[in-house]
Amino acid sequence: MADNTKRDSPLVASVLALQHYLDEMERIGNKINSTDMSGDIDIEHVQKLMTRFAECGQGVSEEVRNLSGRLQHAQTSAEAVAEAVARQAQAFKARTIQQQEHLEKFQALGEKVRALNSTMSEFRRPSGQAFTEDERGALRSRIQAVEGELVGLIAELQDLRDVARNSQMKKLEKDAESLAQTLQAVHGKLREFV
């Protein structure tokens, strides 16, 4: 189907018409040139060949003009498409940069969460073991700093989630939301410790 569309295009039709006239000119020109003009000739036949040759020459001129116009139109169309693609390429580049910046921010927040998780490992005891009162007292004094970090990270993740939502970055939005919810759950457990 695509081949038929291309064959039916005005540009292709113009090329085919031009080729037809050129083929005819060559065929008729060869007949004229092979005629021995010094011998017995059919004047009427040679006159018809000359007339047809001139008509083909006129057809070539006309089709060259048509082809030139069609080529100019094709060039204008191609340039318009190329300009639109260039704008899309710029938009794609900007979107890629924006997405990369947001992903880098998410990765940086992930690193902060891992560091906080390492700090919070002090608040965990193996099953069946309890903290002594002195250990609980020491940990309580650190809870406020850890809680401040948690609250800050949750806020940053929620901000990133909102930015991702507004930028229609669904995966990043979902990942930021998930990590923020996990930290909110950790925050709730930390408050229980106090």
pLDDT of residue 139: 75
pLDDT of residue 64: 95
Q: Give percent of the chain with pLDDT exceeding 90.
A: 58
Report the distance separating Cα 141 and Cα 147, nearest Å.
11
Q: Is the pLDDT of residue 3 over 60?
A: no
pLDDT of residue 113: 87
Confidence bin at 1 (pLDDT 50/70/90): very low
Query: Which has the minimum average pLDDT: 91-95, 138-142, 159-163?
Result: 138-142
- For 166, phi and psi rounded to 5 degrees? -65, -30
pLDDT of residue 176: 93
77-88: pLDDT as tens digits: 999 999 999 999
Q: Is the pLDDT of residue 129 over 80?
A: no
137-148: pLDDT as tens digits: 777 777 788 888
Q: Kindly state the tokens that stand for 90.
A: 């710029």
Q: Is the pLDDT of residue 95 over 70?
A: yes
Q: What are the angstrom distances between the C-alpha of 189 and each of 99, 147, 163, 165, 182? A: 33, 11, 28, 28, 11
